[in-house]
Structure 1
Amino acid sequence: MTGERKRITPTHRYRNNDKLVGVGNAFWNSSEEHGVAGIVGDLTDGVFHMADGHEFVNFTVCSYLDLDTHPKVIDGAVDSLRRFGVLDHCIPRTRVQTRVLLELEESLGELFGATVISAISTAAASTGLLPLIASGHLGDGTRPLMVFDKNAHVSLGNTKPTCADETEVVTCRHHDLDFLEDMCRTYERVCYVVDGSDSLGGYAPVEELAALQDKYNMLVFYDDSHSLSAYGERGIGYVRSHSPVLDERTITVATLTKGFGAGGTAILLDGYPHATRRLIERFAGPLGYSQKMNAAAVGAALASAEIHRTEELDRLQGKLRANIALFDSLLQTEQAGSTYPIRLVPMSDDTVVDAAQRVFRAGFYTSPVFFPIVARGTAGLRVMLRAGQSAEQITRLCAVLVEAGARPAGIAA
């Protein structure tokens, strides 16, 4: 062989691993070196115990109602294994299936007032559904312009290259309604891909988006994972509590792992015929493989669904709201005053890892977040409030955060 072999130059049209790894890995390495990433411990009664004897309360966990440790949810997982007699019948459900998934989907469909299709994870659901939307097969047959919100979760953004093989793909600024309307005037149809509840705090402008849906037939694909269970009557989440457009123009995915306390994901559909279910099961990528929720996850979800039908859910949501209010009374963040359970305590890029280490030594874990997880210059410690946290734990945490550089509530910038 003579001559030089050809070297590939990436286009970086929809992702850039050179930038992602090159910039982000330094912060991850620093976090791990300072002991605030890669932590291993055993959980007992809400407290983590490490091998070296250190104990801490985890304030960065997404089980907002603490249902993942609820005795009924744990018993539901165990009972399901014995009742169905199999962990995972490993074959695509389009060919052969037990009743385990059908029972869960029927229960969740009644609970949330939607047609529900289960998936092993929200990433798998989005990976499968968004290309079908891009090709017009999930929708009204029109290939839409796919508009991804700049802050959309990575599980959504990772589908851009696949969607781009089916249609045009663009990225817009966070919740840029003017841009969306311009696109709706320009293109035959638009699909906006966005988090209904952001992983760093805040909700989508659901009612304003509904106005664009009505005016231009825009389709919206929401990931509402962070508000399911924590928000709304029977835990239906922020999107279904506020959107007046609950038909084929609104598709929502939401994990059953966070507030719901179980495992897997629910795809919530309205206004689609039964044939759409078959289309999704057959052609939505991972949803058509033999990877699906196993019997233990289904049993846990069924038990959690029953809790969602009782007054206990209202009590847990009330405890969560009280803990959020207590935190906001002690510490200043941009999310203060919101019902959202996530708070981002501002720190500089240079101090955020040291601050996390200081908080950890005091017996609490708050995860440091930095670019590219957040925009440059907006680093901070992510705090997640939960129903099971005590007032004493929250008060002590806030005192430590102030010592680490956070601003107390009521102190002007």
Structure 2
Amino acid sequence: MYNDTFFHTLQYLKSTEAYRHFLEFSRSAGHFPLADYQNEKIEVWCSNDYLGMGQDQQVINDFKASLSRYGAGSGGSRNISGNTLAHVALEKRLADLYQRESALVFNNGYLANTESLGVLVGLFDNIKVYSDELNHRSIIEGLKKSKVEKYIFKHNDLKHLEIGLSLEPFERPKIIVFESIYSMDGDFAPVEEIVRLAKKYNALTFIDETHSFGVLGERGLGLIEALQVRDIDFIQGGFGKAIGTTGGFIVGDRDAVDCIRSLAPGFIFTTSLPPALLEATLTSINKVVAAPGRRKKLFLNVRHLKAALRRHQIDFIDAESHILPIIIPGLARIKAVSDKLLKQFKIYVQPINYPSVPRGQERFRVTVTPDHSLEQIERFASALKSALDLS
């Protein structure tokens, strides 16, 4: 009976094109964007390590040195022996960078969203949540934790958002939840306009800066820094993208963040991240903040890649960010293109399919980095054109 359920569930996933396949390969320190796959070198074109900081030698060296000092793990949850000086130092640094009163580190960005939002919307009687329809699953799950009224506004649609806000009394608690960069299309949120509406209708604001932290802004603090927007109540971010390690965080006012720290079960009942990892994360953040060179090289390579794709007449979503989505409808076709790129050209780019994107909107989410050479960029565009023509 039990095995039948497992079997039929998997059969259903496969029949509806929702079954996920994972490529097994090994990153090669110091050789990014190259990786080892079946005793050969392949080029990675879909990594979230946007700046290649996971391969940075100083980050690696500090990770090793910290590992020798502290050991492999933290020893417990934050409230039971796992609240190390490394955790406190990283949180203080984040709060100082954003000029906010407090910060809190989570084991990953998913938890930072689900746990923070779960607590925040549960604190207020009769709060109404306004959430962009393309928000990440972690945001959706966090908002589900409390049975509050939700208004899902059309993606980046300010008129639709304002209609929903205007329906409620000024005094009713409200929170607007959105992302700075939407990772499947690479587009920006209209942050300044959302903040203006929040002020007009007495709403809190919560922004997910996961895909812009480290990439945008004078110091790499994200889209709100690039736009010089200060009036955001809660800023969420992660270390698993441009910072090159793992973990997530939230920053905001002291009492609000302390409520999250005190009430979020996914924070309270979880073994904290290893202190060595957090010291390596702090090293990476400090390097990214101090030197804009890799961010500039990233966007220079983005421009080169867009130009190469245009020369080969390959359509892509020309968004403002560093993410280049290439729509290739149909799971069978995009998988064939991906397989050809890997087998013939030693290029790895992962198909994105349902439920991450709607059926018929399958795509490659291409990410060039500062470490991709001009030759590799040209070769990628040429190989993709060949694979598309033969699919």
TM-score where L is the length of structure 2 = 0.86
| Aligned match of 1:199 | 183
| Aligned match of 2:284 | 304
Q: Give the Cα–Cα distance (whole angstroms) in 2 for the partners of residues 42 and 219 of structure 1.
A: 41
Q: 1:60 aligns to what SS in structure 2?
A: coil
Q: How does 1:376-387 map to 2 (within 5 A)?
A: 376-387=359-370
Shift of 1:24: 7.4
Q: How does 1:68-87 map to 2 (within 5 A)?
A: 68-84=54-70, 87=73
| Aligned match of 2:105 | 118
Give yes or no for the alignment of 1:393 onto 2:380. Answer: no
Shift of 1:19: 11
One-letter identity of the residue aligned with 1:179: H
| Aligned match of 2:5 | none
Shift of 1:27: 3.1
Aligned-residue Cα RMSD (Å) equals 2.5
Would you say the 8 A contact 1:24–1:372 is kept in 2?
A: no
Give yes or no for the alignment of 1:317 onto 2:304. Answer: no
Shift of 1:28: 5.2
Q: 1:91 aligns to what SS in structure 2?
A: coil
Deviation track 1:329-359 (CA, whole Å, cap 9, x = no partner) reads: 1215453262x11111121214111111111
| Aligned match of 2:264 | 284
| Aligned match of 2:17 | 27
Q: 1:405 aligns to what SS in structure 2?
A: helix
Q: 1:404 aligns to what SS in structure 2?
A: helix
Q: Give the Cα–Cα distance (whole angstroms) in 2 for the partners of residues 21 and 118 of structure 1.
A: 39
Q: How does 1:324-363 map to 2 (within 5 A)?
A: 324-332=302-310, 333-336=315-318, 338=320, 340-349=321-330, 350-361=332-343, 362-363=345-346
Shift of 1:181: 0.9
- Aligned residues between the structures: 369
Shift of 1:103: 1.1
**Alignment partner of 1:155 out of 121, 127, 138:** 138
Would you say the 8 A contact 2:329–2:360 is kept in 1?
A: yes
One-letter identity of the residue aligned with 1:363: K
Q: Runs ≥4 in structure 1, deviation > 4 angstroms? A: 18-26
**Alignment partner of 2:37 out of 50, 68, 84:** 50
**Alignment partner of 2:274 out of 280, 285, 294:** 294
| Aligned match of 1:244 | 229
Give yes or no for the alignment of 1:183 onto 2:158. Answer: no
Q: Give the Cα–Cα distance (whole angstroms) in 2 for the partners of residues 344 and 218 of structure 1.
A: 33
Q: 1:266 to 1:240 in 2, by over 3 A?
A: farther
| Aligned match of 2:117 | 130
Would you say the 8 A contact 1:122–1:264 is kept in 2?
A: yes
Shift of 1:178: 1.8
| Aligned match of 1:38 | 23
Q: How does 1:211-230 map to 2 (within 5 A)?
A: 211-230=196-215
Q: 2:181 aligns to what SS in structure 1?
A: coil
Q: 1:27 aligns to what SS in structure 2?
A: coil
Would you say the 8 A contact 2:224–2:230 is kept in 1?
A: no
One-letter identity of the residue aligned with 1:130: L
Give yes or no for the alignment of 1:231 onto 2:216. Answer: yes
Q: Give the Cα–Cα distance (whole angstroms) in 2 for the partners of residues 129 and 336 of structure 1.
A: 32
Q: 1:177 to 1:328 in 2, by over 3 A?
A: same
Would you say the 8 A contact 1:229–1:260 is kept in 2?
A: yes
In structure 2, list runs of 5 or more residues that go unmatched: 1-7
| Aligned match of 1:169 | 150
Q: How does 1:80-99 map to 2 (within 5 A)?
A: 80-84=66-70, 87-93=73-79, 97-99=83-85
Q: 1:233 aligns to what SS in structure 2?
A: coil
